Structure 1
Amino acid sequence: MKFQKVIFSTIYLLLIGPWLYAQIRFEVHIPAQDRSKNLPIFIACSFNNWSPGDPNFRLEAIGNDTYAINLPDTLSYFEYKFTQGYWTQVEGDSQGHSRPNRIYDRLKEQNPQLLSLQIEGWEARPTYRFYIKSLPKNTPQDASIYISGNFNNWDPGNESYKLQKQFDGTYRVTVSTELEKLEYKFTRGNWETVEGQENGKACPNRTLYRKSDFRLEEIPVDIKGWEDLTGTFNFYSIYDLLILFSAFQCILLLVAIPTMQDYNRKANQWLLLSIAFTAIVLIMKTLMGYRVVAEQYSRLLLIPDFALFLYAPLFYFYLQKLLFKTPQMPVKWWLHFVLPIVQILVYMPFMLLDSKELLIKLLNKEQDIHIVSVFAGTISWFVNLFYWFLNWKTVEGYNKQYPNQASNEQNTDYLHTVLILQAICLVLWAFTGLLVFGQRFFDWDTVLLADKSIDIIWLAFSAIPYFLGYFAIHQPEIFKIAKTSLTQVNILPNKVSTENALVSPKLPEVLPEIAPQADETPVLDIEKDANHEQLIASWKEKIDEFMNSEKPYTNVGLTLNELAGMLKITPHLLSKVINEAYQKNFFDFINSYRIEEFKIRFEDPRNRQFTMLAIAFDVGFNSKTAFNRAFKKMTSQSPREYFFDSRAEE
C-alpha cells in the first residue's frame, strides 16, 4: 500500500510539479495602519483590462500584513497597480499622492518568479461611507442596492458600488472621490428601479460637498420609496392633482370664455393665450416629474422653463387691453418678446440632442446646461420683477382714474389677488436662489428645502388661472379708460389740470361757449376766460336741471363721455365743472344723485313692497356692496341706521 502511494506521488510530481513552479508569485505587504482592517486587495493590470475589482485577481491574505497571488509564467511584460476593488481606492505613495504604474519585466527582475512588494500607502481622497438606515417596506428581500452618481458616470449597476448588507441590517458602501460636489442616488441595479419619493415622483439628486480635510465621513441615508414600486393611490400626489386640476381649469376656460358675452374681445384674446400657455406648462411640469415620461421624452423637461420669459409679457398685454382703450398695439410691441425668442434659440441645441444624452446632461448638471439655466433663472427674475411693478402701477393707475370717468364701482380686487400671487412667486423664487447660492458656497444642505420652495412656486402660479377665469366669466364687462388719461392728464381729487386735457370729437349742436373753429383742436381752457366763475355757475345750473329732469344716473353703466354727449359738452369741461362746482369726482357726483333718489323712493309708500336692494338697483347701483359703501360715504350711516325703523324685508 505504501509502495503504491510512493509510486503515485512520484508520477504526480513528474507530471504536475513543473506546472506548480511555472508561476509568477506576488507577495504584497501593506502599511502598518491597515493591518487590522482585513482589506480586500486586487491587482489591476494591462492584461485584465485594468479591472480594479476582478475577483479572479484578488490577493489571498497569508498573514496580518501580507497578501499573495500567483500569475501565469507565460507573462513576460505588463503594467499593474494594487487596489481595494475600485479606482477610487488605489495605492499611492506614503504621502497619499498618486504613484506611477508598476512594471513587470521578466528580463529585468532579479527573481522573475517571486516578487516581494510593499504598498507604501493609498491615494488620499475624500472618503464617504454611506449606510442605509431604513428602506421602504415594499423593497424586495433579495434586492441588490447600488449607489450611482457623478463619481461613476451615473452607472446604476456598477458592482464596485454595490452596498453590502451588514449584520445589523444596514447596507453600507464606501466612496472615495476628488470631486468638489458629490451628486448621487440609490438604485436596485438600473434606472427603472431608482429611488423616489413616497408618492412615486422622482426625487432630486442627493448632494455632498467636499470637506477641507480627508476624514472618513459616515453618511446616514433614509430611502423613502422606489419609483417602480409605488401604489396606485400614491402615484399622483395631492400636489400633482392640484396642479393638474388647474391645467384642466385652463382647458375649460379656453372653451368657455369665447362663448360668453364678449365685452372685452381683444383683452380675452390675450387672456386665452396666457391661459393656453399656462395649461401647457403645468401639464409638462407635472408629467415630467415621473421617471418613465422623463426618460422617454426628456426634451419636454425644458418646456416649463419657457414660462420664465413668456408669461410676463402675455399678462402685461392682457391688462393693457382689459383696462384701457388701446385699439392698436404699441409701435414696438415686439420688443416685449425678444427675450423669449432669444431663450428659444439658446435652448435649441439642447432640444436637438438625443433624449438619453440630454437626460445625462441634466442629471450631471453639466457645465453648459448648468450655466444656461443659472443665467436664464437670474435674468428672468429681474425681468419678471420689472413687469410686476409695471402691472401693479397699471392697476393702481386705473383705480385712481376710473372714478373720474365711471359711475359704477369697478371690482379690480381679483387683479390685486393675482399680483399678490405673482409677488409670492417672486419672493420664493429669490429665496430658492439664495438656497442654491448658499448650497454652492457655504456647504448648506438645502436641496430638499429648495425643492419644496419650487413646488410652492408652481402651486401659487397654478392658482392664478382660477381668479382670472372666474372673473372673466362672472364680470365680463369692465369700464375702460383712455390710455392717455393715465400718462398725460394730472387729475387731483378736487382739481383737474388743463394741460394736455382729454377732448372728445366735435359733437353736433355744440353750444357756442365751447364750439371750436373747424380747423382748431377742440380744447377749451376756461380758466383764462374772464367770466370763468360765471361759466362754471351757468353750467352747474344746466347740469342740475338735466340731472333732475332726465335722471341719467339710473343708467348703471353711465360714463363721463355719455353724460357729456347728452349735455352737448366736452368731457373735459364736464369733468372740470363737476370738480369745481360740486367738489367731487364723477363717481361720487353720480352716486350722490342715486342716494338722494333712493331716499325719495324708499320713503314713498307706493314702494313698500320693494326691498332696499331692489330700490338700490333701480336707481343705478350695480351691487349691494357698492350701494352700502356709497350710502355710508354720503350719510356717515348705513341704510338701516339712517332709516331707523326700516320695514321688514323678504
Structure 2
Amino acid sequence: MIYVIGIFISVFLASLLLTKAGRHRADMILGVWMIVVGLHLFAYYSLLTGLMYEYPFLIGSTLPFPFLHGPLLFLYAFALTKPRALRVRVWLVHSLLPVGIILSTVPFFLLPAARKAYVFQHEGEGYETYLLITNILLSLSGILYIYLTNRLLQQHKKRLVDIFSNQEKVNLDWLRFLFYGMGLIWVSIILSFSDELTFSLATVFVVLIGYFGIRQAGIFTNQALPDADEPVAEGEFTAPEEPEPATQKSKYAKSGLTPDAASELHARLKDLMDSEKLFLQPELTLVELASHLDIHPNYLSQTINEMEGASFYDYINGMRIEEFKRRVSLAENQKFTLLALAFDCGFNSKSAFNRVFKKATGLSPSQYAQAATRV
C-alpha cells in the first residue's frame, strides 16, 4: 500500500510542477524527476505483486531507473543555482550513463517473455556479469552525484554572501533536504540493504517532497539567483565567490575596474552609506545598492572585496553592528529591547543578529549592552 501512495503522490506533484503558471526549467526537471520516481515505484510494485509477469513487457523495467535519479538531482540543483549555465553540453554529459544503460537493456527486452521471466525468477541467471558491472556503476554514480551536488551547494552558499545582506529568506534548505534525502537512499543502495527498505525510503522521500515542497518559499520560488560562471555582458550580473587573500589579485586580473576607479567608487560608497544609511534596509541586496551608485554590481562587489576585505554580507552587517553599538549606548534607547534595536538597524532575525554580533565582537549583544551602560 505504501508504494501505491508514493506512486500517486509522485504523479500529483509532477502534474503540479509541469502545469503551474510561470514554471521555470528547474520546475520542469523536478516534474520529470517525480514522473521517473513514480514509474520506478510502479515497476517495483509490479514486481512485488506479480503484475510484471502478467504483462511481460514490464519485466526488466526496473533496471534503468536507478541511473536517472543522480543526474536529475544534480540537474535540478544546477538549474536552481546556475540557471544560465545549464546548456546543451551539460545535459549531454549527464545523459551519457543513463542512455548507455537504457541501450544496454534493449537485448534483454527483446527476449521472449518466458525467458525474461525465467531470468528474473532465478536472480539474473545468465546475466551475472552484466548485473555486477551495473551494480558497480550504480554505486559509483551515486557517490559521484552526491559529491557533485554537494559541491554545487557549497559554491552557491559562498555566492550568497556577495549578493544578500540578510539570508534568512534566501536559504538552501530545500536543496539540502533533497540532497540528504537522496544521500540516505544511495547509502541504502550502496550498502546493499533490502529492496523493501530502499523503496520504502524512496516513498517517504516523495511524501516529504510533497510536504516541504508545497511549504517552500523564498528565492527558489520567486527569482533565479545570478550565475557566477556566466560571462559578464551588458545588463547582466555575475556574483563572484568570496575571495581568498592569496587569489584575490588574480581573481580580478581581467576586471575593467582600474585601481583609481575602485578608490573613487569606494569613496562614493562610504558617502552614500554615511548619508542615507541604506544598510538599515533589511532586504538590501548588492544589485539594489549598485543601482544607487549607478555602477555595475560586479564592480561594486569587487570594490567591497578589495577595499573592505569583506563580502557584501559581512560589509553590510558590519555597518549594522556599528549602528547597533551606537544606539545601544544612548540613554534614550534604554527603554527598547535589544532585539527591537537590532531590527531597527537592519537585522531581520534574532538568530542572525546574535550570530553576526558574536562573530564580530566576541560578545553576545546582552554582554555588550551591559558593558556599554556601565561606561
Which residue of 1 is the match for residue 52 of structure 2? 294
Compared CA separation, residues 313 and 322, structure 1 to 2 (3 A):
same
Which residue of 1 is the match for residue 199 of structure 2? 458
How far off its partner does 1:567 sit? 1.2
RMSD: 3.9
Return the alpha-carbon distance in structure 1 between the equivalents of residues 31 and 341 of structure 2. 38
Compared CA separation, residues 321 and 472, structure 1 to 2 (3 A):
farther
Which residue of 2 is the match for residue 482 of structure 1? 227
User: Could you give the per-residue CA deviations for residues 100-136 of structure 1, whole angstroms, max 9, x where no partner exists?
Assistant: xxxxxxxxxxxxxxxxxxxxxxxxxxxxxxxxxxxxx
How far off its partner does 1:415 sit? 3.2
Structure 2 SS opposite 1:633: helix
Percent of matched pairs sharing the same residue: 25
Instruction: State whether structure 2 residue 96 is matched by structure 1 residue 351.
Output: no
Greater per-residue strand proportion: 1
How far off its partner does 1:589 sit? 0.9
1:489·1:502 contact (CA, 8 Å) conserved in 2?
no
Greater per-residue helix proportion: 2
Structure 2 SS opposite 1:484: coil
AA partner of residue 458 (structure 1): F
Return the alpha-carbon distance in structure 2 between the equivalents of residues 623 and 248 of structure 1. 38
Which residue of 1 is the match for residue 190 of structure 2? 430
* Higher RCO (CA-CA < 8 Å; seq separation 6+): 2
Return the alpha-carbon distance in structure 1 between the equivalents of residues 347 and 125 of structure 2. 62
Which residue of 1 is the match for residue 96 of structure 2? 338
Compared CA separation, residues 323 and 345, structure 1 to 2 (3 A):
same
Compared CA separation, residues 631 and 366, structure 1 to 2 (3 A):
closer
Return the alpha-carbon distance in structure 2 between the equivalents of residues 641 and 485 of structure 1. 45
Return the alpha-carbon distance in structure 2 between the equivalents of residues 298 and 615 of structure 1. 70
Note the residue ranges of structure 2 that are not aligned, 5 or more in a row.
232-237
Return the alpha-carbon distance in structure 2 between the equivalents of residues 468 and 617 of structure 1. 33
Structure 1 SS opposite 2:30: helix
Return the alpha-carbon distance in structure 2 between the equivalents of residues 363 and 390 of structure 1. 36
1:404·1:585 contact (CA, 8 Å) conserved in 2?
yes
How far off its partner does 1:281 sit? 1.4
How far off its partner does 1:488 sit? 11
AA partner of residue 592 (structure 1): G
Return the alpha-carbon distance in structure 2 between the equivalents of residues 363 and 357 of structure 1. 10
Which residue of 2 is the match for residue 551 of structure 1? 277
Return the alpha-carbon distance in structure 2 between the equivalents of residues 644 and 247 of structure 1. 58
Structure 2 SS opposite 1:306: coil
Return the alpha-carbon distance in structure 1 between the equivalents of residues 363 and 21 of structure 2. 37
How far off its partner does 1:586 sit? 0.9
AA partner of residue 477 (structure 1): I
Return the alpha-carbon distance in structure 1 between the equivalents of residues 349 and 59 of structure 2. 47
Instruction: State whether structure 2 residue 32 is matched by structure 1 residue 273.
Output: yes
Find the partner of 1:307 among 61, 65, 79.
65
Return the alpha-carbon distance in structure 1 between the equivalents of residues 80 and 89 of structure 2. 19
Structure 1 SS opposite 2:89: coil
AA partner of residue 266 (structure 2): K
Return the alpha-carbon distance in structure 2 between the equivalents of residues 429 and 563 of structure 1. 48
Which residue of 2 is the match for residue 384 of structure 1? 142
User: Could you give the per-residue CA deviations for residues 158-203 of structure 1, whole angstroms, max 9, x where no partner exists?
Assistant: xxxxxxxxxxxxxxxxxxxxxxxxxxxxxxxxxxxxxxxxxxxxxx
How far off its partner does 1:314 sit? 1.4
1:493·1:585 contact (CA, 8 Å) conserved in 2?
no
Which residue of 1 is the match for residue 235 of structure 2? none
Which residue of 1 is the match for residue 234 of structure 2? none
1:493·1:584 contact (CA, 8 Å) conserved in 2?
no
Larger Rg: 1
Report how many aligned residue pairs link the two structures: 358
AA partner of residue 318 (structure 1): Y
Which residue of 2 is the match for residue 403 of structure 1? 161
2:166·2:347 contact (CA, 8 Å) conserved in 1?
yes
TM-score by length of 1: 0.47
2:228·2:240 contact (CA, 8 Å) conserved in 1?
no
AA partner of residue 411 (structure 1): N
User: Could you give the per-residue CA deviations for residues 205-261 of structure 1, whole angstroms, max 9, x where no partner exists?
Assistant: xxxxxxxxxxxxxxxxxxxxxxxxxxxxxxx4xxxx2x4444444344335456878
Q: Map 1:97-136 onto structure 2 (within 5 A).
A: none
How far off its partner does 1:337 sit? 1.6
User: Could you give the per-residue CA deviations for residues 480-508 of structure 1, whole angstroms, max 9, x where no partner exists?
Assistant: 242417999675345773446499xxxxx
1:310·1:340 contact (CA, 8 Å) conserved in 2?
yes
Which residue of 2 is the match for residue 564 of structure 1? 290
Instruction: State whether structure 2 residue 82 is matched by structure 1 residue 318.
Output: no
Q: Map 1:584-599 onto structure 2 (within 5 A).
A: 584-597=310-323
Return the alpha-carbon distance in structure 1 between the equivalents of residues 363 and 113 of structure 2. 69
How far off its partner does 1:368 sit? 4.0
Instruction: State whether structure 2 residue 248 is matched by structure 1 residue 497.
Output: yes
Which residue of 2 is the match for residue 412 of structure 1? 172
How far off its partner does 1:422 sit? 3.4
AA partner of residue 229 (structure 2): T
Which residue of 2 is the match for residue 123 of structure 1? none
